[in-house]
Amino acid sequence: MSVQDLGDKVILTHPDDKSSTATILKYGATVFSWKLNGTEQLWLSDAAKLDGSRPVRGGIPLVFPVFGKNTTDEHLSKLPQHGLARNSTWEFLGQTKSDPPTVQFALSPDNANKELTKLWPFDFVLLLTVQLGRDYLKTDIEVQNPSTTREFKFNWLFHTYLKIEDIEGTLVSNLVGVKLYDQLLKQSYIDKHPVITISDETDCIYQNVDENRLIQVVDRGQPVHTVKRHNLPDTVVWNPWTEKAGGMADFEPKDGFLQMVCIEPGHVHDLITLAPGQSWSAYQLLYKEQLKYQAI
């Protein structure tokens, strides 16, 4: 069986290789494990809560309708950091394809966290499609506005925690020349570094990254992750490093930041406005690809 519903989570197994799997927690529709030929690709904290008591620290949490903390929008500013999708139990709609195994999850005000929808009282439908390919993991999102009268504004982001061996031997490529907002320095500038290396807390929003640019995570010359984006112009690069990881109760081991980097494709620099009856869709594709320096 390529899809198993275990109550609180769903496991996809690739029919051609039983050691390639994806596991999705219904809480947050969070993919918290993706194994390729038996090797885990996503970072998950040892202290991550998988019981619905808080968003999962690791895997691919979903950020909607607000990225970070909004301070200006009347309704979005009432929501906690990163919104309500990662704090809600999604409905498992079932399998839509058997090969490659593909499943769908849905969230609307009917099943979303009531405390949070009270704060952001809009009608919405989110449809997440997860597909486990032989050598890729694709997550598609569709946001619908079923209202006949009222528009809403939102951000979307896949908060992807990628597992790596050692941050000190790792670089992130193909973001040179892109304008970014550094959330720590609170400054915008153009990244002139041919590649990004991380040796301290990093929290940067790269804006309007050309869709044809693949973002690659390279470990000592070998590309270990390739991230392709559709309709997701911004990419956050985040690593909490020592102090921030130390302050997060659900971040374990405390030096776990050495084995992870978040590459987060999203639409977060500005808000998307969705008119009544309209829908918006985007995807993230994680896969293996040869080293491609598209810009140095």
* Residue appearing with tokens 């973002």: 215
Q: Going by C-beta distance under 8 Å and a sequence separation of 6 or more, which residues neighbour residue 143?
A: 64, 124, 125, 126, 154, 156, 272, 274, 279, 280, 281
- Identify the residue among 90, 154, 156, 238 touching ligand BG6 (CB under 6 A): 238
Q: For residues 26 and 159, which CB has a smaller minimum distance to ligand BG6 in the complex?
A: 159
Backbone φ/ψ region at 55: left (φ over 0), alpha (ψ -120 to 50), beta: beta
By CB under 6 A, what part of segment 101-140 binds ligand BG6?
Answer: none
Query: What is the DSSP-derived secondary structure letter of residue 168?
Result: G
Distance from CA of residue 264 to its chain's centroid? 5
- Identify the residue among 236, 271, 274, 286 touching ligand BG6 (CB under 6 A): 236
CB of 123 to ligand BG6, least distance (A): 26
Q: For residues 85 and 236, which CB has a smaller minimum distance to ligand BG6 in the complex?
A: 236
Phi, psi of 92 (to 5 degrees): -85, 115
Residue 203 binding ligand BG6, by CB under 6 A = yes
By CB under 6 A, what part of segment 242-281 binds ligand BG6?
Answer: 264
Residues in contact with ligand BG6, shown as a per-residue x/- string from 23 to 62 under the rule CB under 6 A:
----------------------------------------
Token pair listed for 238: 């985040």
159 in active site: yes
Measure the CA–CA gap between 258 and 255, rounded to whole angstroms. Answer: 6
Residue 82 binding ligand BG6, by CB under 6 A = yes
264 in active site: yes
Single out the catalytic residue among 14, 82, 225, 264. Answer: 264
Known binding residues for substrate are: 57, 81, 86
